[in-house]
Structure 1
Amino acid sequence: MDHRLPQAPLWKRAGAFLLDHFLILVVALGVGILLLGLFGEGETSFFGAASFAPIMIVAFILYLCKDIVGGRSVGKRIFGLAVLEEGGQPPKAGRRILRNAFTFLLPAELFFLLLSRSKRKIGDRLMRTDVYALQRKRPVTGIIAAVVASFAFVAFAMFASVITIMKQDSSYRVATDYIRQQAEIQRVAGEPITFGLLPTGSVSYTNGSGEAAFNLKARGSLRTVEVRISLTKAEGEAWVVRDMQYSP
């Protein structure tokens, strides 16, 4: 690798930084929402410590490892940048990870990046690395891939959020509790009864009253039973089951 590569301009580094943070945030939120949607029950708050902690852990790991492949995160690849040693060689994976750990000291990192003569962050100074510009033009394929990935992550997060909202609604808890208590479902499916990770259905509210319908997979020790259940709610009252049908 040519050690005379130019140091990356600040505007490109800022663009790569913002793009990486956006993608990491979307992925971390998507994972957190999906975990809560799949395994959360009842009225668990999405912003509680139990659900927020996995998001922070995922985001932290993703950020540390964002440059693990060739010293180039998604943002750096789009803007034609790479993390290299002072001599122009790719640093070892451990140094790439440690370099990113210091970014959490954001004020100090910005001070060194913007005001120091060498324009290098704390992590780059300690790991003897820097961000270099590999090419002047951004690859069109890379930009297209990033846009497609961004839309895919956003779609995933939206889908997971719908599942989360549905499973957190009290109508879902009433429906699952009702199904578990049905002797016929217990006999056909076996006990204990659990439910599929991805329920389908709808919940709607109008002036305090509500309508809900779910298609659930009730899984027991014998078989899985498809259950279709509808509920209704009068203003100021609890959800009640209106109809339930099932088929093995």
Structure 2
Amino acid sequence: MQINLASRKRRLVALLIDYYLITFLLVSIIFLILGPDFIEKEGGFPTLLLILSIPIGIIFYFGKDSINGTSFGKWIMGITVRKENSSNESPSLVNLFIRNITLIIWPLEFIVIVFNKNKQRLGDQIAKTLVYKNPNKSKKLPRIISIIGLGIIFFVFILSFVASSLKTSNAYKLAISEIENNKEINQTVGEIIDYGWMPTGNVSIKNGEGIATYDIKVIGEKKEMNVQVELIKPKDGNWEITSFNY
């Protein structure tokens, strides 16, 4: 059965999908290791973790086509990598890894693939591979559902991590303590039930000094109320409330 070469457009879209997926996975792993309270940890971002993330990223990115010559992006776009002299055989893991190393110089790769008649970039020429339309590609619906699902997971993870980071900070805990001890707020909203899933605001700490702002939804048994809190953290000191409005 004769199969056709994959279009340049499909290959570009597949590459972008892979790039964002791998970046998301790597960032997710780093954030999970750091924990949601990393903002207020002494010493900032651990250098060792940054060093360890580099080889993990290399393995993820350069080895992305290791499953039968097909990465997630290529599966979505219905294309696959095959040997130059056999459209039915997947290249070795070594060749699949080697062909992706040249993506480091992606501007040059883009120029090469535009003008190459077989749509080969430098990595393909070195590893002796071609990218074809996958004759055994999955149906369109599962692929569409997968890409939508990936987008939803990405969105939910980022929101959840940001919310968790804001809520675990000492600044937020101080703001909540002030709200719970405020008699006027308690009389207005009644017994406090919750503070909403996602507080808006930000926390910034640099060289031991910090600034934080929160807009917290207070959910009571009688009604809801928004409370705006601003805080500062002097160097080597504790958080202090500078503004408290409702």
- Quick check: TM above 0.5? yes
CA RMSD of aligned residues (A): 3.9
Q: TM-score, normalization: structure 2?
A: 0.63
Q: Which amino acid aligns with 2:124?
A: D
The verdict on how the C-alpha distance between 1:173 and 1:110 changes in structure 2, with shifts beyond 3 A counting, is: same
Consecutive unaligned residues in structure 2, runs of 5 or more: 175-196, 203-210, 215-228, 241-246
Q: Which SS does the other structure have where 2:35 is aligned? A: helix
Alignment of 1:220-235 (within 5 A): none
Relative contact order higher in (CA < 8 Å, ≥ 6 apart): 1
Question: 1:1-248 maps to which residues of 2 (within 5 A)?
Answer: 2=1, 4-37=2-35, 40=38, 42-46=41-45, 49-86=47-84, 87-88=86-87, 89-135=89-135, 139-166=140-167, 169-171=169-171, 238-239=238-239
Q: Distance in 1 between matches of 2:69 and 2:17?
A: 16
Deviations 1:88-138 (A, max 9, x none): 111122221221122112122112111233321111111111110124996
Calculate percent identity across the aligned residue pairs: 22
Using structure 1 for the length normalisation, give the TM-score. 0.62
Distance 1:233 1:7, change over 3 A: closer
Residues 129-157 of structure 1: CA distance to partner in whole angstroms, max 9, x if unpaired?
11101249962112202221232133223
Instruction: Give the counterpart letter for 2:63 in structure 1.
Output: C
Q: Which moved more, 1:23-32 or 1:56-65?
A: 56-65
Q: State the secondary structure of the residue aligned to 1:84.
A: strand
Preserved contact between residue 166 and residue 199 of structure 2 (Cα < 8 Å) = no
Matched residues, number: 193
Shift of 1:18: 1.1
